[in-house]
């Protein structure tokens, strides 16, 4: 999984792999509909297996504060239903 590879390459990245059926509260919390499901900074969600280039494109959003604020607000609205 690409997230695990990133974590092995950098001390700034932490990756955890969990079995969704064993942690249903995480399925609910992160609204998991597919696997893999990558969550970055509790805000940026990447669902499904994506090519490395697509993952890097998503990671670039982390440097864009306005986009991150919008993603955070959108995620809170979605999470609260």
pTM over 0.85, yes/no: no
Q: Which residues contact 30 (CB under 8 A, 6 or more apart)?
A: 37, 39, 45
Indicate the Cα dihedral angle 47, 50, 52, 55, nearest 10°.
-30
Residuewise pLDDT in 10s, the chain (81 residues): 788 888 898 888 888 888 989 999 999 988 888 889 888 888 888 889 999 898 888 888 888 888 888 888 887 888 787
Q: Which residues contact 33 (CB under 8 A, 6 or more apart)?
A: 47
Q: How many CB atoms lie within 10 A of CB 38?
A: 19
Q: Which residues contact 39 (CB under 8 A, 6 or more apart)?
A: 30, 45
């Amino acid at each position: 999984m690409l997230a695990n590879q990133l974590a092995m390459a950098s001390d700034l990245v932490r990756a955890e792999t969990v079995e969704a059926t064993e942690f249903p509260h995480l399925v609910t919390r992160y609204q998991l509909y597919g696997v893999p499901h990558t969550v970055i900074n509790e805000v940026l969600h990447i669902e499904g297996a994506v090519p490395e280039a697509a993952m890097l494109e998503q990671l670039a959003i982390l440097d864009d504060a306005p986009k991150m604020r919008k993603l955070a607000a959108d995620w809170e609205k979605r999470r609260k239903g």
